Amino acid sequence: MAKDTKLLMTFPVTATSHLLEEYRARGGYQVLHKVLTQMTRDAVAKEVLASGLQGRGGAAFAVGRKWAVINLDDGQPHYLCANADEGEPGTFKDRWLLENAPHRLIESMLIAAYALQVRNAFVYIRGEFEGPYQRLQGAVEEAYAAGLLGKNILGLGFDCDLVIYRGAGSYVCGEASGLITSIEGKRGYPRNRPPRLTVKGLFQRPTVINNVESLSNLVGILDMGAEAFRKVGTAKNPGTRLISISGHIAKPGVYEIEVGYPWKRLIYDDCGGMMDGASLKCVIPGGISTKVLTAAEIENLNLDNNEVEAAGSSLGSGGMVAIAEGTCMVRLLQVMLRFYHHESCGQCTPCREGMGWLHRIIDRIVAGQGQLEDLDMMVRISKLNDGNTICGMGDAAGYATVGILAKYRDEFEYWIENKRSKYEGNLECRRSS
C-alpha cells in the first residue's frame, strides 16, 4: 500500500462519511483555503504538472499536460467537467468515490477551477447512478449552504458554480466529446478532433475534462506537495490507484493500491483468491475494452501502466474482472459483443455495421451454425474498425474480440465443430452468460 497514508484516497467509511460535517472534521476544505490564500493559479497548475499525475479514466494522459493547453487570460470563459459517467463494464471505483467522498471531488474541482479560471463547472454523472447522484447532489447543496460554492467562496473573492448533469444511459457519452455534446442538449455523438476540447470544447470554449478519480487526487497533491506525491507509485506513474475487482473473486470490491503493486498479491492476498477454491484462468485488466491476460501472463506482473502495456493490454479504467478456469470464453465474448452492439451510437459506419456483424457471427456460432472461417472474419472486421471511427468504441470492441480469439481460439473451434461449449454443464460456463 501507499507509503504515506495522508496521500491515500480512502478513509474510514461510515454512514455519514459523505456529509460535510464529517468531511470537515477530517480537514476537508482546508486545502482549498490554503490554495486560495497562499498560491497563484500558475503555482497550482505547476504543482499538478510536477506531480506527474496520470489520468485515471483509461487514457492515462497526464493531467498537468492537459491543463497546460488552456490559454489563461484569453478573454474566453473556460469550463471544467468531471466525467462521472463510468459506463465501462467491470468498473465501479468512481461510484465508490461519489457515494463516500463527494466533498473530496467538490473540493478538488474548486482547486482545478481556480487554476483554470473556470466560473462554471459540471459533473456529468451516469443516469443509472441514482444513489451516487443523490449523495453528490446532497453534497453540492451542503457546499452552497456553507458558502463553499457560488459567489465569494470562503469570503476570499473566488466565484464558482457547480452543475450536476445526469446522462441518459449512453456508453459513448463517457467519451469526452460525446459527454460535451450531451451537456449541450444534443444527441450524444462524439466529435471529430482536432480541434482539441481544451481549445474548443463545451459551447466551443476551452474545456478540461478529467475523470472523478483523477480530480479527487488534487486535494492530496496540493496538501502534501508534488514531491511527496511522487514518492508513492513509480517514477513514470506516481500515486495510488483505485482498482474495482469483480468476477469469480472471493472478495470483490474497490481496492486502493500503490502503482507498481504486485498483481498476484492483490488477487491472492488482498482479494482472497478465486471463490470456491477455483483456479484463475485469465483477467480483464481495466474494463472489458482491454485485452485479456492469462494467469501465466500476470504471474510476475505489477499493476503499472507500462508493465501491463508491455504485456499487451492496459490498466484502462481500473475495472478488473477475474475469470475462473471452466468459464466458457465463447459465451463471455457473446455477452461483450451484445453490449457493444447495443451501445454503438450509430454515427460511424464501421462501428454501427461492424458491431452488428460481430454480434450476429457470435450468436450464429453459439446457435451451432458457425463455421471455422467465421473466426478469421471476426478478426478482419475488428481490424477494419481499428482507427476508423470518431471515438474509440469500435477499436475497443476489436481489442476485446481479437484478444480473446488469440488466446482461446481452441474453445471457439471446439464449439463450431461440436455445436456446444467445451465446458457444457459446467457451472462457470453458465455464470459467464
- Position 2 scores a pLDDT of 35
SS3 254: strand
**Dihedral (CA of 24, 26, 30, 31) sign:** negative
H or E element in which residue 255 lies: strand 253-258
For residue 121, give Cα distances in angstroms to 30, 66, 80, 149, 383.
20, 17, 5, 11, 38
SS3 119: strand
Spatial contact of 392 and 287, defined as CB atoms under 8 Å apart: no
| Phi, psi of 322, rounded to the nearest 5 degrees | -95, 130
Estimate to the nearest angstrom the gap between the alpha carbon of 319 and the chain centroid: 7
- Position 13 scores a pLDDT of 77
Q: What's the whole-model pTM score?
A: 0.94
- Position 45 scores a pLDDT of 97
Tell me if the bond preceding 102 is cis, omega within 30° of 0.
Answer: no
The size of the chain, in residues, is 433
Cα–Cα distance measured from residue 237 to residue 354, given in angstroms and rounded to the nearest whole number: 35
Residue where the block lists cell 459513448? 172
Spatial contact of 41 and 115, defined as CB atoms under 8 Å apart: yes
The full set of domains in the chain, from first to last, is 5-229 (3.40.50.11540), 240-324 (3.10.20.600), 329-431 (1.20.1440.230)
Estimate to the nearest angstrom the gap between the alpha carbon of 261 and the chain centroid: 19
Cα–Cα distance measured from residue 313 to residue 292, given in angstroms and rounded to the nearest whole number: 7
Cell of 182: 450531451
Nearest residue to 128 via CA among 161, 95, 157: 95
Spatial contact of 179 and 81, defined as CB atoms under 8 Å apart: yes
Cα–Cα distance measured from residue 29 to residue 154, given in angstroms and rounded to the nearest whole number: 9
- Count other Cβ atoms within 10 Å, centred on residue 86: 26
pLDDT tens-place values along the chain, 433 residues long: 333 333 455 566 778 899 999 999 999 999 999 999 999 999 999 999 999 999 998 788 999 999 999 999 999 999 999 999 999 999 999 999 999 999 999 999 999 999 999 999 999 999 999 999 999 999 999 999 999 999 999 999 999 999 999 999 899 999 999 999 999 999 999 999 899 999 999 999 999 999 999 999 999 999 999 999 999 999 999 999 999 999 999 999 999 999 999 999 999 999 999 999 999 999 999 999 999 999 999 999 999 999 999 999 999 999 999 999 999 999 999 999 999 999 999 999 999 999 999 999 999 999 999 999 999 999 999 999 888 999 999 998 999 999 999 999 999 999 999 999 999 865 444 444 4
Tell me if the bond preceding 194 is cis, omega within 30° of 0.
Answer: yes
- Count other Cβ atoms within 10 Å, centred on residue 68: 14
Cα–Cα distance measured from residue 70 to residue 64, given in angstroms and rounded to the nearest whole number: 11
For residue 313, give Cα distances in angstroms to 39, 148, 285, 391, 400.
40, 41, 7, 19, 10
Please name every residue paired with 256 in a beta bridge, in sequence order, or none if there are none.
Answer: 242
Q: Which residues contact 130 (CB under 8 A, 6 or more apart)?
A: none
